[in-house]
Structure formats: structure tokens, C-alpha cells
Structure 1
Amino acid sequence: MANTYTQIHIQVVFAVQNRISLIQAHWKEELYKYITGIIQNHEHKVLQINGMPDHIHILIGFRPTQALSILMKMVKEDSSKWINSRRLAKGKFSWQSGYGAFSYSKDQVPRVTKYIQNQEKHHSKKSFIEEYLELLKIHKVEYDQRYIFKPLE
């Protein structure tokens, strides 16, 4: 698109179905590379990716050539197929429906990058649900409690 200039930075957060800790340390880097490839194939840029056994954070330099919902559908579908075809998880792997998406200005990118890099340290003090609700609150995102990622009971 000629004469179209944008600077869009989005952090997406999504969880494993039922928040089960299925992402194993010995294959998570391979998964992150695969997801990075999906995003890059859609002409966006992964600035940072990391997560925990039950969820992932991705900071994306996003181009306005595609709806975020379509990109996330592709990321989740393709990465689930990739995990299942390699039998990396016990049973059938899938992502929970939905995701959180939060926008940032250029000057916030280094802070968000560091935050995503330090997920293990961060989650030694705070659960995924606490973190997710905090992100929604900070970004003033209205939500329906019925659709928030629920922990297993």
C-alpha cells in the first residue's frame, strides 16, 4: 500500500486448552521458532516470544495488511497441528479459544520485551490468571468474567 505508514506493536497472550501445562521445556524453543515462522510468513515481525508451560506471550510488529483475528487463528491452528503431528504432547494438543491483545507505543517496546523475556521469574510471584487480569485492567479492557481463562478445578 503506497503512502501507508504505521507503527503497531501488539502483545498477544493465549493459553493451552484448559490451562494444562503441556508445553515442555525440551521442545518449547522449537515451538516458538515455528510460531515465529507463521507470523513472519504473514509479513509481521516477532519482536519477542516466550511463555510458560500453560501459555504464551508474543510481541509483534504488526502490519495492517491482515486482521489480527485471522493471524491468531492461523497461529493457533497451525501450531496445534505441528505439535500434534510430532506427538510432542500427551493426547491431543489444542489452544484455548480466544486471546488477549494489547497495544504499545514504540517507547514501551523495550519494557514489554523484557517482561516477556522474564516470564519464568515473573510467574514465580504471580499466576497466569493474576497476570492476565492485570493486563486487562492496565489496558482498561472490559471483559465478561464468564470468558476469562479459567484454572482447572
Structure 2
Amino acid sequence: MSQSFTKLWIHAIWATKNRQELIDFSIEKNLYDFIWQELNELGCPVRIINGMPDHVHVLFLQNPQKTISDIVKQIKGSSSHFMNRGEFILEKFAWQTGFGAFSVSESQLDAVCNYIKNQKRHHLKKNGEDEFNEFMRLHGLENK
């Protein structure tokens, strides 16, 4: 094969520092729009972003010339800078150091999109930390 082809959908999840509930309904659109734009500029088209006051879920295509770690690090850094610079909240905005990133097959895109779209409903039954731990178990990883 003379060319390289990739199409890697990534479901990334990361939380605010100490899981503080910093992403209020009144500012989440600003934050999500910023993340969407930044990912697109990194060559990572976004399918959906949503979350809760203490974490976000993003489904995007990975740019094959960038590592997932580099992509998420860039997005977390630029978005926290954006939030602090824009004075959206009184407290200092920051993300936790780690993140989760999971591959999504083409056949599961609609299911993952619906899951992300319905975050508010899911979290009536389960908090963000329990949700993340469940993702870790489902993917055969231990939360350390």
C-alpha cells in the first residue's frame, strides 16, 4: 500500500482539579465551544462534547501525526487558560493531571454519541468518579 490511512475515534474523559464543580451550566457552552475549536485546529474533528460540572467527555478523530497525550495536554492547557483569562468563574480553573482515552469502533459511534449527549441523565444515578471507574473496568484497566 503506497499511502497510509487512519480513522481512529477517541472518547476522551477528563475532570476538573479535585473534581470541583467548576463547569456551571452558564459557562459550559463557552468551554465546549473553545475545546471544539481547539481540537479542530489540531486536526482532530469533533463529533460531540458534553459533560458535568466536574468533568467532560469528548468524541473526536485522532490526528495521526499527534499522540493522544499531546492532544489532551494541549486542550486541557489551552482551555484552562481560556477559562481563567475570560473570568468566567471566580475561582481558579484547572483540570486534573490525568485523563482517560478509549478507542471507539465505527459501529459504536451512535451509542457513544448518545451516551455523551445524555450525560445529565446518566449522572442522576452515578457520580463522575464512579462513571470513570466503570470505564476503566470495562476496558480492562485499573484506576491507580
Is TM (by shorter chain) over 0.5? yes
Aligned partner of residue 103 in structure 1, secondary structure: strand
The alignment partner of 2:50 has SS state of strand
Q: CA offset at residue 130 of structure 1?
A: 1.2
Q: CA deviation at 1:40?
A: 0.4
1:69 aligns with 2:84: no
Cα distance in 2 for residues equivalent to 1:90 and 1:140: 39
Q: Name stretches of at least 5 consecutive residues in structure 2 with no aligned partner.
A: none
Letter in 1 for 2:88: L
Partner of 2:101: 101
Q: In the alignment, is the contact (CA less than 8 A) between 1:7 and 1:106 conserved in 2?
A: no
> Residues 32-43 of structure 1 correspond to what in structure 2 (within 5 A)?
32-43=32-43
- The aligned counterpart of 1:140 is 140
How far apart, CA to CA, are the structure 2 residues paired with 1:124 and 1:78? 30
Deviation for aligned residue 1:24: 1.2
- The answer to whether the 8 Å contact 2:133/2:143 transfers is no
C-alpha separation in 2, matches of 1:129 and 1:99 = 12
The answer for the alignment partner of 1:51 in structure 2 is 51
TM-score (norm 1): 0.90
Question: How far, CA to CA, are the matches of 1:52 and 1:76 in structure 2?
Answer: 16
**Kept after mapping to 1: 8 A contact 2:10/2:102:** yes
1:3-22 equivalence runs, <5 A: 3-22=3-22
Aligned mates of 2:142, 2:22 — CA distance in 1: 29
Identity over aligned pairs, percent: 36
| Runs of 4+ residues deviating >3 angstroms | none
Q: CA deviation at 1:21?
A: 0.4
Using the size of structure 2 for normalisation, the TM-score is: 0.96
- 1:148 alignment counterpart: none
What is the letter of the counterpart of residue 73 of structure 1?
Answer: K
In 2, the alpha carbon distance for the partners of 1:82 and 1:63 equals 23
Matched pairs, number: 143
- Equivalent residue for 1:115? 115
